[in-house]
């Protein structure tokens, strides 16, 4: 799977977004293999964070001047938020940039494979919960809901993923949808 996913990610043209007034940010989609299947790791943000309070997301955050590139941002933030050591992440590739709707960020998503088991350590100021979801569950038709909303005068497909009482929506759902489209193709 790793080889096929790395190849699929490297053979696509990443769409970059550059909009004035939007802050750069990056997230990591941590994947691992456990008990015969692949999992994605998510976090639920606390109510203490400045933006995206209580939302489910991938580990990540805003670009800082000390980051050489956005990959450094994703790895630094993952280390800060969940204790994931950057050297333990095998980067497989990138997904398209995604703008947030409720804040002014452009998110650059990175896909990385991590070892399992792993001893995560949540930063309790930023992360309320760390949880895993089997990719097979996310691929199930009953998990995803689609709606059409008018955003900025245009009809846009909006996704939400429902798993064990949790709802993954917004920019995280758009990033997840991109990833699952690619994952489906490599499974064929």
Q: CA 29, CA 111: separation in Å to the nearest integer? A: 5
Residues 6+ apart with CB under 8 A from 136: 37, 38
Q: How confident is the model at residue 53 (pLDDT cuts 50, 70, 90)?
A: low
- Which residues on adjacent β-strands are paired with residue 109? 27
Q: pLDDT higher for 104 or 144?
A: 144
Cβ pair 40, 30 in contact under 8 A: yes
Cβ pair 24, 113 in contact under 8 A: no
Q: How confident is the model at residue 155 (pLDDT cuts 50, 70, 90)?
A: confident
Q: CA 9, CA 20: separation in Å to the nearest integer? A: 27
Architecture of domain 2-134: Alpha-Beta Complex (3.90)
Per DSSP, the three-state class of 38 is strand
Q: What is the pTM of this model?
A: 0.94
pLDDT in tens, 98-108: 988 778 889 99
Among 3-17, 51-65, 84-98, the range with the most confident prediction by mean pLDDT is 84-98
């Amino acid at each position: 799977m790793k080889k096929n996913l790395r190849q699929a990610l490297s053979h696509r043209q990443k769409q970059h977004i550059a909009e004035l007034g939007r802050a750069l940010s990056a997230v990591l989609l941590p994947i691992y293999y456990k008990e015969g299947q692949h999992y994605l790791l998510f976090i639920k943000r606390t109510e203490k964070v400045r933006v995206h309070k209580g939302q489910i997301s991938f580990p990540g955050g805003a670009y800082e001047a000390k980051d050489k590139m956005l990959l450094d941002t994703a790895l630094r933030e993952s280390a800060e938020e969940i204790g994931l050591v950057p050297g333990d992440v095998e980067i497989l590739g990138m997904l398209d940039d995604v703008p947030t709707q409720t804040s002014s960020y452009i998110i650059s998503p990175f896909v990385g494979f991590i070892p399992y088991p792993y001893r995560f350590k949540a930063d309790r100021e930023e992360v309320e919960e760390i949880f895993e979801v089997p990719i097979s569950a996310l691929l199930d038709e009953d998990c995803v809901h689609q709606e059409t909303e008018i955003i900025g005068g245009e009809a846009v497909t909006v996704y939400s993923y429902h798993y064990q009482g949790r709802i993954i929506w917004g920019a995280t759902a758009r990033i997840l949808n991109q990833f699952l489209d690619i994952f489906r193709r490599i499974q064929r």
